[in-house]
């Protein structure tokens, strides 16, 4: 009795989890409409695009380093291209990625040379053209763990919310173009009043519940296996009791090349069933 109740519970639990997974995999898919957004483009500041005459040595955060001054400090209100403090990140002449850290307690503009050969986003992932966008985290969450939120952007396509920016506020989305566009080209990519949708997340079971499911599934497998071993074997029903199966030979029609359907059917019946005609 206890075994039967336990088996019934396991089966019920397995069905319930299957339903939850079905809902997570199918019923919750799709996109939520977030409304209309302004979509802009951001690129990396490239040191090679700036004049060599003025250079800055040992800027805040860049000890024993020398860079072109405008590459680091040229901000809005100046003719393009704009520097790291505006673009957020840049790439130096020798291929190093420089990231703007903001102001320190003394009010100095500080930078950091990134160890990775890429621009690291708020999510911790490397920015990638065709995937990364910056958003306002108050509007769209930027996850530092797990899969980034997928966005469907009118006029742009599918991107991942992986970064943030000081000037990205409310319904603004900034699309990452790296070094594939110049600053002037990026300005021409600005879109207004474009619809943005967020992909609905699948229903994911908590880790502890997934562990319980695994244990119960194992228990169910063992239980059903033990039942099948203790169940008495049913007598085998022989379809042709007049003839021992072990003595039968392969029907001749299976050895022949196809001919007429009538010949194959009749010959097989007479041979296999033991009829003499």
| Rg of the chain over all Cα atoms, to the nearest angstrom | 35
The whole-number pLDDT of residue 269 equals 42
Q: Report residue 149 as tokens.
A: 């939120």
Mean pLDDT, to the nearest integer, of 185-201?
A: 92
Query: Is the peptide bond between 81 and the residue preceding it cis, with omega within 30 degrees of 0?
Result: yes
Weakest mean pLDDT among 119-123, 158-162, 222-226: 222-226
Residues with Cβ within 8 Å of 168's Cβ and at least 6 positions away in sequence, in order, are 134, 135, 136, 174
pLDDT for 261 beyond 50 = no
Weakest mean pLDDT among 9-18, 60-69, 193-202: 9-18
Structurally, at CATH architecture level, domain 31-44+119-212 sits in Beta Barrel (2.40)
pLDDT tens-place string over residues 121-151? 999 999 999 999 999 999 999 998 888 999 9
Could you tell me where in the chain the CATH 2.40.40.10 domains are found? 31-44+119-212
Distance CA 90, CA 43 (A): 8
C-alpha angle 160/25/146, rounded to 5°? Answer: 35
Distance CA 43, CA 176 (A): 6
The whole-number pLDDT of residue 225 equals 65
Distance CA 4, CA 1 (A): 5
Weakest mean pLDDT among 161-175, 185-199, 225-239: 225-239
The whole-number pLDDT of residue 130 equals 96
What value does the mean pLDDT of the chain take? Answer: 78
**166: confidence class by pLDDT, cuts 50, 70, 90:** confident
pLDDT for 216 beyond 50 = yes
The whole-number pLDDT of residue 147 equals 87
| Alpha helix stretches (DSSP H) within the chain | 2-22, 69-73, 84-87, 183-187, 207-230, 261-272
Weakest mean pLDDT among 54-63, 70-79, 115-124, 250-259: 250-259
pLDDT tens-place string over residues 80-119? 899 999 899 999 999 999 999 999 999 999 999 998 889 9
CA of 198: how far to CAs of 105, 121, 132, 158, 272, in Å?
38, 19, 14, 10, 65
Higher pLDDT, 252 or 188: 188
């Amino acid at each position: 009795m206890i075994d039967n109740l336990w088996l019934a519970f396991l089966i019920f639990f397995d069905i319930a989890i299957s339903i939850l997974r079905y809902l997570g995999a199918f019923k919750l898919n799709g996109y939520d409409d977030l409304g209309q957004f302004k979509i802009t483009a951001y690129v990396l500041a490239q040191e090679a695009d700036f004049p060599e005459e003025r250079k800055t040595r040992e800027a805040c955060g860049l000890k024993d380093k020398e860079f072109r001054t405008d590459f680091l400090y040229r901000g809005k209100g100046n003719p393009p291209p704009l520097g790291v403090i505006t673009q957020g990140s840049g790439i130096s002449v020798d291929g190093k990625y420089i990231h703007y850290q903001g102001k320190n307690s003394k009010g100095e503009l500080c930078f950091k040379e990134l160890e990775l050969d890429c621009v690291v986003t708020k999510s911790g992932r490397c920015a990638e053209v065709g995937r990364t966008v910056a958003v306002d985290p108050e509007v769209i969450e930027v996850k530092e763990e797990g899969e980034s939120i997928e966005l469907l952007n009118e006029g742009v396509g599918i991107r991942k919310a992986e970064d943030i920016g000081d000037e990205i506020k409310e319904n603004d989305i900034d699309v990452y173009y790296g070094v594939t566009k110049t600053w002037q080209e990026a300005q021409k990519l600005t879109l207004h009043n474009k619809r943005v949708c967020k992909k609905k997340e699948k229903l994911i079971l908590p880790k502890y519940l997934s562990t319980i499911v695994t244990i119960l599934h194992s228990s169910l497998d063992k239980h059903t296996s033990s039942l099948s071993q203790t169940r008495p074997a049913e007598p085998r029903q022989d379809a042709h009791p007049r003839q021992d199966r072990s003595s039968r030979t392969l029907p001749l029609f299976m050895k022949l090349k196809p001919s007429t359907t009538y010949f194959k059917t009749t010959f097989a019946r007479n041979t296999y069933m033991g009829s003499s005609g």
